[in-house]
Amino acid sequence: LEQMQVRDSLKMYNSLVERCFKECVEDMRSKALTGKEEQCVAKCCEKFMHVTARVGMRFQEFFTQMEQQAAQQAAAAQGGK
């Protein structure tokens, strides 16, 4: 299970690199990132982490709510017997 977590975070790392490269690196005429590209990559990455945090929060809320509803329905079904 811990192994799975490490794997997931490496996968996320890879996909974040790919995304920010694609969104930020524009020209292939130099071997080094331009200042603009570098800043774009940093902001892309930060922004993505913030989106992850926010979506994760909503995600958690949703599943918590769903489990509460399931528990209430189970309780109601028991009470109805």
Partner 1 sequence: MPGEQPSEAEQNAVAAAALTMATTELEYRVSLLNSMVATCHDRCAARPYKEGALSVGENSCIDRCAAKYWQVVAIVGQLLGAQNK
Query: Where do contacts with partner 1 occur on this chain (CB under 8 A)?
Result: 1, 3-4, 6-8, 10-25, 28-33, 37-38, 40-52, 54-56, 58-59, 62-63
Q: What's the min distance (Å) between Cβ of 27 and partner 1?
A: 9
Q: What's the min distance (Å) between Cβ of 53 and partner 1?
A: 9
Which three-class secondary structure state does DSSP give residue 42? helix
Q: Closer CB to partner 1, residue 70 or residue 80? A: 70
Q: Closer CB to partner 1, residue 26 or residue 71? A: 26
Main-chain phi, psi angles of 25, to 5 degrees: -85, 120
Q: Rounded distance, CA 19 to CA 40, Å?
A: 11
- C-alpha distance from residue 80 to each of 8, 60, 74, 76 (Å): 44, 30, 10, 6
Q: Closer CB to partner 1, residue 30 or residue 80? A: 30
